[in-house]
Amino acid sequence: MLKRDDWLDLARKLDWDFSYVEEREVFPEEISGSPWLTAETWKDWDEPYRTSYTEYVKNQSIKEASVHAVRDAVGKVEDFQKHDPSWINGLKLHAATLALAEFAAVVGNLRAARFGRDSAWRTTALLGALDELRHAQIPLLIMHELVRWDPQFDWTHKFFHTNNWIAIAGRHLVDELLITSDPMEFAVGTNFVFETGFTNLQFIGLSTMAHAAGDRMFEKMVKSIQTDEARHAQIGHPVLQKIIAHDPKRAQYLVDKWFWRNWLFFAVITGFSMDYLTPLKHRTQSFKEFMQEWVLDQFKRSLEEMGLALPWYWQQFLDAIDTYHHMVYASAYTYRATTWFNFALPGPEERTWLQEKYAKTWPLFDPIWEQITNRWRKSGPGVEWYTHGATPVTFCNLCQLVLCGGSPERNSAEVITRGARKYVFCSKPCRWIFESEPERYEHHKDVVMRILSGEAPGNLFELLRYFDLTPSIWGKDVAGGRYPWMQLSKG
């Protein structure tokens, strides 16, 4: 057989000069991306993986067989029932934000498979679309088994179809990043920042923890998905290089914007799992340590190599690694009924661990958990509402997540007035992103706006229904407040 490199370029470099239509008609700027560059500029585009179709279906069918074998062996309800309840709830959070977001990425990749400016790019993007279809279908097939055991797993599919506040935030991100971004922005936001910048957190971090927790199914799923990401993520680098060469300001903007938006997403999804929902005995590193080891250094290095500066908010970002996910978790714990998964209450041992890992900032959070614990003690187990907030919370007009920026000492929220409307942001970077492209964001109605305009109910119980939650679904404390240590330390 011929070696791949002997023939593949014949099938990868297939752009031609149009005669019957204009190039700008075939690749309109609004859907191909900016800056609009001529075909000539793109013709040396390349990526290193250069996978052929034959190799693709061969490797992927093997990977599929292997995931299905693990599913047959350890993917039954009984297998999941063995796991620690907090771990299971981390799984629910991940599953819900994964499946339909991956399918959204099928759409984004298909757009690139049509409007990417070089045929090799389009071909890799098409394989990317197939990969993302895989990543949508695997969790749907695995988690479907679990619905009859625990209906919260239904949100693996349902989540993005709901009015839940996390779903609104999720869609706000996924819509812009995956479904409605042009191929150039997609290449920077998804391929470069998300897939090469952040997914190591999932691959190395979460799969290590899944391994430690004995969850072979999740470990297998994450690892298998990552091997696909590693391939199609290669699109990011060469596209970004072209943008840098022709419009360095835009390149820097796209990187800065997407690093921040992706950071907030991972802080919630992965931060919750690593520092709160993974049982203490299975934790290998803190979220912060994983960020430092697997995200920061690599990201800084690749920016440097490309001649880009660190995002202007870098110091704020470094500070946020110590605080943001703790802010959101404590807040969400006390609004857990507004979610579809259950929350673990950090006990004395967990708090000692968090104190060690976050020596500088944990003293600001510890009193909060002390207060929540005291209220559990007062109410006794099973009385969820006594450790639950009732006042509406606030949402950032960019990321749509709760206003948990800064620290308990000083929340970093900012209010601005534009025309007749006030907007609030959780942080300076969110405000900056909004003000850089207001036409994208200013029409959006956050949950508070919906409540004030009567579109959503203000009463918490009714609001839960608006969030598509019912008593059997909404989030609770994983132990219903029945923690052995709570009794012990009381005496």
Partner 1 sequence: MLVPLFGFLKGDTIGLVVLVHDTDRIKDLAASLQEAASVRVKPKTYAQVYRHGELLDPELTIAEVGLSALDRIDVIAENI
Partner 2 sequence: MGLWEIMTAQRTWWHLEGLKKKPSDYDISTSKLLYYTNRGFEVHTPSGEWLLTQQKNCPLQVTDWEQFRDPRETTYTKYTMLQNEKEIYVDGLLRSVDETGYDQRLTPQWLATLSGILGPILYPTHGLQMIAAYVGHIAPSGRLVVTCALQAADEMRRTQRFAYRLRQIQITHPKFAQSGKALWQEDPMWQPMRMAIEKLLVTYAWGETITALNLVLKPAFDALFLTQLACLAERSGDEILTKVLASLEEDTRWHREWMQAFVTFCITESPKNAMFVQSWIEKWVPICDAAIAPFLSLFETKGASVRTSVRQLQNKLWREAGLEGISA
**Given 125, 269, 321, 328, the residue binding partner 1 (CB under 8 A):** 328
C-alpha 59/C-alpha 61 separation (Å) is 6
CB of 278 to partner 1, least distance (A): 21
Nearer to partner 1, 261 or 388 (CB): 388
- For partner 2, which is the closer residue by CB, 147 or 308? 147
Who contacts 24 (Cβ-Cβ below 8 Å, separation ≥6)?
Answer: 36
Q: Binding partner 1 by CB under 8 A: which of 179, 296, 303, 364?
A: 364
Please tell me what DSSP assigns to residue 310: P
Closest approach of partner 1 to the CB of residue 395, in Å: 9
Backbone angles phi, psi at 399, to 5 degrees: -80, -15
Burial label, 72 (beta-carbon count in 10 A; 0-12, 13-18, 19+)? exposed
Q: Which of 338, 387, 400, 427 forms a contact with partner 1 (CB under 8 A)? A: 387
- Residue 392 contact among partner 2, partner 1, none, beta carbon within 5 to 8 Å by kind: partner 1
The site partner of 114 among partner 2, partner 1, none (C-beta below 5 to 8 Å per kind) is: partner 2
- The span from the CA of 116 to the CA of 45, in Å, is 11
Q: How many residues bind partner 1 (CB under 8 A)?
A: 38
Cβ neighbours of residue 420 under 8 Å, at least 6 residues apart? none
Contacts of 60 (CB under 8 A, 6+ apart): 130, 134, 228
For residues 314 and 273, give the distance between their C-alpha atoms in angstroms, rounded to a whole number.
24
Contact residues for 299 (Cβ-Cβ < 8 A; gap 6+):
197, 259
User: Quick one: 105 or 274, whose CB is closer to partner 2?
Assistant: 105
Contacting residue, 372, 430, 433, 478, with partner 1 by CB under 8 A: 372
447-486 residues in contact with partner 1 (CB under 8 A) are: 448, 451-452
404 touching partner 1, by CB under 8 A = yes
Instruction: Spell out, one character per residue from 275 to 314, where the chain touches partner 1: x when CB under 8 A holds, - when not.
Output: ----------------------------------------
The residue (of 100 and 274) whose beta carbon lies closer to partner 2 is: 100
Structure-token pair, residue 359: 């020596």
Q: Is 424 helix (H, G, I), strand (E, B) or coil?
A: strand
Which residues of the chain form contacts with partner 1 (CB under 8 A)?
326-328, 330-331, 334, 364-365, 367-368, 371-372, 374-375, 386-394, 402-404, 408-411, 413-415, 422, 424, 448, 451-452
